[in-house]
Structure 1
Amino acid sequence: MTEYVLVAGAWLGAWAWDEVVPELRAAGHGAHAVTLSGLAEKKGVAAGQRTHVADIVDAIERLDLRDVVLVGHSYAGIPVGQAAERIGDRLARVVFVDSSVPTDGESFVSGWPDGRAMVEGSIAANGGFWAPLGAEDAAGQGLDDAQLARLVDGSTPHPGASLTEPAELTRPLGELPATYIKCLLDGAEPNDDVATLLKSENWQLVRMDTGHWPMFSQPHELARILLDAARK
């Protein structure tokens, strides 16, 4: 039995996977959605990126999970990529869902040459937290009105230190068995860091014809892809 551990991106908590988790369990697998410190039911807590890596590793070790498919969406790809190498032989595969990927010594905002000032300005203006998106910011991402409202209404401010703290990797990320899901409404091609990693024989690219939040816009298709990833 595969054990899926799912981590949503900025502003989101475990609740974001509510339409995906039941399908994984119905297929006979374990599914565990993790809320990172400072978000959703843990909102308001200051947390750095190392805290988020520890959140993921601690959840896996506390539940004594094996044969883990570790799933990271958007921002969460950065702590998930670091956690994946820390859990050793518990890992079966890591799946990055339209996500950032960690680079040793670099932070989430390091990859935002144009948007870094915007993110850091929001953090400074909001007591150390990155303010959530408004509905207009998520337009054009394949979300209907109900899905968009769910995303916007459920989001909480994201702890800023997790976005500016550098990642720490002890081995090349390309050595990990990985699937990268590219959501085409958020850009037709992966960024340069991901494109380089996809040259590894351990990495596979899967494309989804939807936007940046497929757990809302296409949860059934996303669940199918995650189930397929466990068979690689």
Structure 2
Amino acid sequence: MSDFVMVAGTWLGAWAWDEVAEELRGAGHTAHALTLSGLAERRNTPPAGQQTHVRDIVEEVERLALRDVVLVGHSCAGIPVGQAAQRIGDRLRRVVFVDANVPVDGESFLSGWPSDHVRQAIDDHGGYWPPLGPEDYAGQGLTDEQIARIVGGSTPHPGVTLTEPAALTGPLDALPATYVKCLLDGDEPMPAVAAFLKSDSWELVTLDTGHWPMVSQPRALARVLHTAVARP
């Protein structure tokens, strides 16, 4: 059995993993959901940069003295999770990217796509990216109740974590990794992911749901995570 450390993407906290964590514990794993600095119940902590979020993850692994670690990063949290995976050494069993961005050395979350509107929103809101409204979750396999849960639990996201570049310590495709592509959010992985998937150390799994599978299909996502740890 493995020690899962799960990190949700933009605007979200540990609460987003409640149902997935319950399923994993029922299968005999330990499951720890982590809220990154500046978000949810930690929104009043000092201003956080991307490397703050990397340290949050590494320090959680060390604080809990975990050994057989599966790091799980959703959406933009894939960027700090990927960096943290390189830094925990032989504690790492696998890293799982859930419909996530992956770190590219020297590039930020906002690199490589038309993101001027995000930068402007961050500037207009005191350095934070404001959460989406309910209408922005349409077509992602979510019920009205699930959308309300996400919107109600979202907090503004520290903008610097999205604009600072990643700093890798080695080739990311050398890590044992699973990439979970959520098909309602597009059926092709982004180019950076597609490049890493050419590695024998990486595998691709698909889910027929939207970008927030921990809410829309928590049991299915938990099964994917459980199966991933059986990989060599």
- Whichever residue aligns with residue 198 of structure 2, its letter is K
Provide the identity percentage: 68
Q: Which amino acid aligns with 2:127?
A: G
Q: Is 1:62 the counterpart of 2:63 in the alignment?
A: yes
Aligned counterpart, 1:133: 132
Secondary structure at the aligned position of 1:205 is classed as strand
CA shift in 2, pair 1:91/1:29, >3 Å: same
For 1:43 and 1:170, the matched residues in 2 are separated by: 29
Once the two structures are TM-superposed, the CA of residue 137 in structure 1 deviates from its matched residue by: 1.1
Q: How does 1:181-196 map to 2 (within 5 A)?
A: 181-196=180-195
One-letter amino acid of the structure 1 residue matched with residue 229 of structure 2 = A
Unpaired segments ≥5 residues, structure 1: none
Q: TM-score, normalised by structure 1?
A: 0.98
The whole-number CA distance in structure 2 between the counterparts of 1:144 and 1:170 is 41
**Is structure 2 residue 84 aligned with structure 1 residue 90?**
no
SS of the aligned residue for 1:20 comes to helix
> Within 2, Cα distance between the matches of 1:165 and 1:98?
21
**Which amino acid is the alignment partner of residue 187 of structure 2?**
A
* Equivalence for 1:9: 9
Name the residue aligned to 1:148: 147
RMSD: 0.7
CA shift for structure 1 position 43: 1.0
1:128-172 per-position Cα deviation (integer Å, ceiling 9, x unaligned): 100001111111100000001001111000000000000000111
Partner of 2:76: 75
Provide the aligned length of Structure 1 versus Structure 2. Answer: 230
Secondary structure, counterpart of 2:19 in structure 1: coil
Amino acid in the other structure paired with 2:19:
E
Q: TM-score, normalised by structure 2?
A: 0.98
Q: Which amino acid aligns with 1:229?
A: A
Amino acid at match of 2:101: S
Per-residue CA deviations over 1:68-105 (Å, capped at 9, x if unaligned) read: 01000000000000000000000000000000000000
Structure 2 counterpart SS, 1:179:
strand
Residue of structure 1 equivalent to 2:32: 32
